[in-house]
Amino acid sequence: MKNSICLLFLCFTSISFSQTYEFQTIKDIEATPVIFKYITRTCWSFSTTSFLEAEVIRLTSKKIDLSEMYTVHNTYTKKALGL
Domain that holds residue 6: 2-81
Counted domains in the chain: 1
Distances (CA, A) of 15 to 5, 7, 18, 22, 71: 15, 12, 5, 18, 52
Nearest to residue 52, comparing CAs of 32, 34, 28, 37? Answer: 32
Cα angle: 65, vertex 58, 23; to 5 degrees: 105
Burial of 68 (0-12, 13-18, 19+ CB in 10 A): buried
Rounded to an integer, the average pLDDT of 11-40 is 77
Q: What average pLDDT is seen over the chain?
A: 84
Per-residue pLDDT reduced to its tens digit, 28-61: 887 788 888 888 889 999 999 999 999 999 999 9
